Amino acid sequence: MTETMKHTLLFAVVGVLILAEGATDFLFFSGSWNSALVILNMGLISAIMAIGVNIQWGFAGLFNVGIMGFTALGGLAVVLTSTPVIPEAWSSGGVSIVMALAMGALTVVSGVMITKFMAPGKARMLVLAAVMIVGFFVYRAIFDPAVGSVEAINPALQGNIGGLGLPVLLAWPAGGLLAAGAAWLIGKTALGLRSDYLAIATLGIAEIILAVLKNEDWLSRGVKNVVGLPRPMEYEVNLQADPAFLERAAFFGLDGIEASTLYVKIIYALLFTAVLLAFLWMAQMALKSPWGRMMRAIRDNETAAEAMGKDVTRRHLQIFVLGSAICGIAGAMMTTLDSQLTPGTYNPLRFTFLIWVMVIVGGSGNNFGAVLGGMLIWFFWIKVEPMGILLMELVTAGMADGSDLKAHLLASASHMRLFTMGLILLLVLRFSPRGLIPEK
Amino acid sequence: MDLLNALVALSNFVVIPGLAYGSQLALGALGVTLIYGILRFSNFAHGDTMAFGAMVTILFTWLFQSMGISFGVLPTALLALPFGIGGTILLALLTDRTVYRFYREQKAKPVIFVMVSLGVMFMMNGLVRFIIGPGDQRFADGERFIIKARTFKQMTGLNEGLAIKTTQGITVITAIIVVAVLFWFLNKTRTGKSMRAYSDNEDLALLSGINPERVVMYTWMIVAALATIAGVLYGLDKSFKPFTYFQLLLPIFASAIVGGLGNPLGAIAGGFIIAFSEVTITYAWKKVLNYSLPDSLAPDGLVQLLSTDYKFAVSFAILIVVLLFKPTGLFKGKAV
């Protein structure tokens, strides 16, 4: 069996799994096409995230565990781009907030300038400390009252600065830009560090981004969530009221409700597939290009690449920004799919480490591997729960009904997820460290 | 008098919580730093090892409570602690045997070890959730306070109360004992010396006949004990929730790196630096300032530099500053 055949077969397996989810309710499959499409859609988004991580890790060997932060920033971009403009918010405090943020940025920039241009010593420390402290208090003095007035506007529904009222599809590139900007800042400070330190730094950044989203109510409504985000297509209720749509649904032998839910999900799936294919194509082109070869050269031997005159830190920064931007776009897509931003639900295990499992299982360094890993692991992430319950029913079949152990085992089956993901990761690392579709 | 009140308020809200939290971080960071010194990788599973240790201890605490065994005024969890340590040592050795040893023999790169530790992290996290569930567990019993705020006010006649929780006292005392024993072990015993030798220079240690597998085994045992103690103390002081332990990873790593990875003394210093920075920056200083400043200067706001939710930002900022200006940490750690 040739390599290509094996890889096609692996993709076919994922396809069959998703089709089976829709077609049959045998064992852990649910037999619902809606559920199959839900898995497919999130699988596509996961695949895009995996491409982003694969660019950083597989191409350049950068160990980024702050994916959750970039995903969340993508989600924020949807709120900032596509929600309607709230004029009161801007007239009451929005401008001051922007001013305060600019003031904060100015403080940081002058801090960086001072460290760069003053000679090291006591004087520098004193000036730096003075600028930082004064800057901080000025920032808070402008910021706090402005935030108070913005959050006071219709707090039950808004209380945040609102968005630009643009079409939601524009939020996807905006999410990429936002994530890229954050990645540039992080990269500038942390990329000189060695791998473990970079990992811990990115882990911290992700937590901070999330803390900002959870607490800055003026920006993202915090844990009150932003719901009802605009969608790039018609709502189901409108479709159900549309006679032409109902007629077509009847042609396929479906009732209006099921047809409309499927229709919306299929449109999403097509959109996501288009984005995924675009990124896959770009990543493949980049990998084959001289730039991609240079990246791999840097990954495999930094010293040698540097001796050849390659600017390692700059290239690292470049690829860090690119990969993070892709994660940001995927994050924006995910928030659009959910049509809500819920900062409370972001969890590093799900949004950072699970993506890592996808990349490693799929095959680090191979874009097709990342896509395969993304889809496959996502399927299992969803399906481990019913599998676990099935397994537990099997294990506890012989036990007496009503025993505490049996009840506990059945109730805890849903926590098998993390355990299984860890097991899969360890097994792949041990027995097939190059993943399902290894790097060429 | 006002100054005394300010001092009491400061101790009550900053010094004592900071000391307790610092001790917990220091114990956690010691574990991370020992793994880094001997096995040479950043162990992402450490937070979940702490959670596992705390969980086993909680299960034994419940067992003892149901059997009617108690430790008087002290929490029963202290009686259960040795069993928790035992369970965690077993798990750590099992993980090393089944997972890490393979990569040691392969002489895998540190970043591979980190990946592997991610897998272990997932599995331990899942295991803990599977056994005890993802929810909050409170298991502190016995006397709750050493000094109650009201008693303190009556005793001294001050406006401000000083409350010292039993768990805070136990945390600090246990930490001192554990650290003393650990340093005695590392500096005086044969095994401890061979561990330090192995950490300083692996090849030289191997040449002088030190058995690396034995060193690794002892390291895991010590790390498991430290993680369990840190986890139980944290759980007694606050509460036990698997996800919180996972999140402790960041301040713990920050402590270990700020102090200098691989340097036990640095881990302790780092723990207290991180803890006190977190507490002081997220504390609302209004009360203390009201007491200590003349009325005309008394602040209007809360004088809270950052809201408590940004405590991660604090440990992170310190981490970055230290990494940029002194990459080996405050105490000289290993820079690989």
CATH number at residue B141: 1.10.3470
Kindly state whether residue B330 falls inside one of the protein's structural domains.
no
Q: Looking up tokens 């003892």, which residue turns up?
A: B64
Q: Does the beta-carbon distance from A194 to B336 stay under 8 Å?
A: yes
User: Which of A124, A142, A200, A355 should we substitute to test contact with B (largest number of B Cβ atoms within 10 Å)?
Assistant: A200
Using a CB-CB cut-off of 8 Å, the residues of chain A touching B122 are 349, 353, 357, 418-419, 421-423, 425
Q: Please, which residues 59-78 of chain A have a Cβ atom closer than 8 Å to chain B?
A: 61, 63
Measured CA angle at B128 (ends B219, A394), to 5 deg: 125
Number of domains present in the structure of chain B: 1
Q: Does the beta-carbon distance from A429 to B119 stay under 8 Å?
A: yes
CA A209 to chain centre: 13
Taking the CA of residue B260 and the nearest CA in chain A, the distance in Å comes to 12
Q: Does the beta-carbon distance from A63 to B99 stay under 8 Å?
A: no
Q: How many CB atoms lie within 10 A of CB B289?
A: 15
First to last CA, chain B: 53
Instruction: Read off the tokens for A398.
Output: 């012989």
Average pLDDT over residues B137-145: 83
Kindly state whether residue B204 falls inside one of the protein's structural domains.
yes
Kindly state whether residue B55 falls inside one of the protein's structural domains.
yes
Query: Considering only alpha carbons, which residue of chain A is nearest residue B325?
Result: A115
Q: For the ranges A156-160, B263-267, B318-322, which has the lowest average pLDDT?
A: A156-160
Residue B321 in contact with partner chain A when CB distance is under 8 A: no
DSSP assignment string, A237-300: HHHHT-HHHHHHHHHTT--HHHHHHHHHHHHHHHHHHHHHHHHHHHHHHHHHSHHHHHHHHHHH
Kindly state whether residue B336 falls inside one of the protein's structural domains.
no
Taking the CA of residue B132 and the nearest CA in chain A, the distance in Å comes to 9
Local confidence band at B31 (pLDDT 50, 70, 90 cut-offs):
very high
Continuous segment of H or E residues that includes residue B165 = strand B164-165
Closest residue to A201, CB basis, from B118, B305, B320? B320
Closest residue to A419, CB basis, from B127, B249, B336? B127
Kindly state whether residue B161 falls inside one of the protein's structural domains.
yes
Whether A156 and A110 have beta carbons less than 8 Å apart is answered as no
Query: Considering only alpha carbons, which residue of chain A is nearest residue B316?
Result: A204
Instruction: Report d(CA A350, CA B178) in Å as an integer.
Output: 35
pLDDT for position B334: 62
CA B293 to chain centre: 35
Q: Residue A308 class from Cβ within 10 Å (0-12 exposed, 13-18 middle, 19+ buried)?
A: exposed
Q: Does the beta-carbon distance from B250 to A189 stay under 8 Å?
A: no
Instruction: Report d(CA A50, CA A33) in Å as an integer.
Output: 25
Kindly state whether residue B168 falls inside one of the protein's structural domains.
yes
DSSP assignment string, A63-113: ----HHHHHHHHHHHHHHHHSPB-HHHIIIIIHHHHHHHHHHHHHHHHHHH
Closest residue to B253, CB basis, from A194, A200, A423? A200
Instruction: Read off the tokens for A341.
Output: 């931003």
Whether A182 and A70 have beta carbons less than 8 Å apart is answered as yes
pLDDT at B307 over 80: no
What is the phi-psi region of residue A228: left when phi exceeds 0, alpha when psi lies from -120 to 50, beta otherwise?
A: left
pLDDT for position B87: 96
Using a CB-CB cut-off of 8 Å, the residues of chain B touching A196 are 41-42, 110-111, 114
Using a CB-CB cut-off of 8 Å, the residues of chain A touching B336 are 194
Taking the CA of residue B335 and the nearest CA in chain A, the distance in Å comes to 9
Kindly state whether residue B335 falls inside one of the protein's structural domains.
no
Query: Considering only alpha carbons, which residue of chain A is nearest residue B329?
Result: A197
Local confidence band at B336 (pLDDT 50, 70, 90 cut-offs):
very low
Q: Please, which residues 284-313 of chain B have a Cβ atom closer than 8 Å to chain A?
A: 301, 305, 307, 309-310, 312-313
Residue B94 in contact with partner chain A when CB distance is under 8 A: no
Taking the CA of residue A255 and the nearest CA in chain B, the distance in Å comes to 40
φ, ψ of residue B326 to 5 degrees: the values are -145, 75
φ, ψ of residue B293 to 5 degrees: the values are -95, 155
pLDDT at B42 over 60: yes
Closest residue to A423, CB basis, from B110, B123, B243? B123
Using a CB-CB cut-off of 8 Å, the residues of chain A touching B120 are 422, 426
Average pLDDT over residues B29-50: 92
Residue B246 in contact with partner chain A when CB distance is under 8 A: yes
Which residues of chain A have a pLDDT value below 50?
none
Closest residue to B133, CB basis, from A204, A412, A425? A412
Q: Please, which residues 168-187 of chain B have a Cβ atom closer than 8 Å to chain A?
A: none
Q: Does the beta-carbon distance from A425 to B115 stay under 8 Å?
A: yes
Using a CB-CB cut-off of 8 Å, the residues of chain B touching A61 are 111
Residue A116 in contact with partner chain B when CB distance is under 8 A: no
Q: Does the beta-carbon distance from A426 to B99 stay under 8 Å?
A: yes
Q: Does the beta-carbon distance from B119 to A204 stay under 8 Å?
A: no
Q: Does the beta-carbon distance from A419 to B309 stay under 8 Å?
A: no
Residue B325 in contact with partner chain A when CB distance is under 8 A: no
What is residue B134's three-state secondary structure?
Answer: coil
Distances B181 to A54, A70, B189 between C-alpha atoms, Å = 45, 44, 11
Q: Does the beta-carbon distance from A357 to B122 stay under 8 Å?
A: yes
Closest residue to A208, CB basis, from B118, B134, B312? B312
User: Which of A415, A427, A430 should we substitute to test contact with B (largest number of B Cβ atoms within 10 Å)?
Assistant: A415
Q: Does the beta-carbon distance from A200 to B111 stay under 8 Å?
A: no
| Residue B279: domain span | 2-325
pLDDT for position B111: 86
Closest residue to A189, CB basis, from B42, B116, B324? B324
Taking the CA of residue B86 and the nearest CA in chain A, the distance in Å comes to 22
pLDDT for position B335: 47
pLDDT for position B137: 86
Taking the CA of residue A154 and the nearest CA in chain B, the distance in Å comes to 23
For chain B, the average pLDDT equals: 88
Q: Please, which residues 197-216 of chain A have a Cβ atom closer than 8 Å to chain B?
A: 197, 199-201, 203-205, 207-208, 211, 214-215
Residue A195 in contact with partner chain B when CB distance is under 8 A: yes
Whether B237 and B145 have beta carbons less than 8 Å apart is answered as no
Kindly state whether residue B332 falls inside one of the protein's structural domains.
no
Residue B62 in contact with partner chain A when CB distance is under 8 A: no
Q: Does the beta-carbon distance from A356 to B115 stay under 8 Å?
A: yes
Q: How many CB atoms lie within 10 A of CB B3?
A: 9
Residue A423 in contact with partner chain B when CB distance is under 8 A: yes
pLDDT at B197 over 80: yes
Residue B86 in contact with partner chain A when CB distance is under 8 A: no
Residue A414 in contact with partner chain B when CB distance is under 8 A: no
Q: Please, which residues 101-140 of chain B have a Cβ atom closer than 8 Å to chain A?
A: 102, 110-112, 114-116, 118-127, 129-131, 133-134
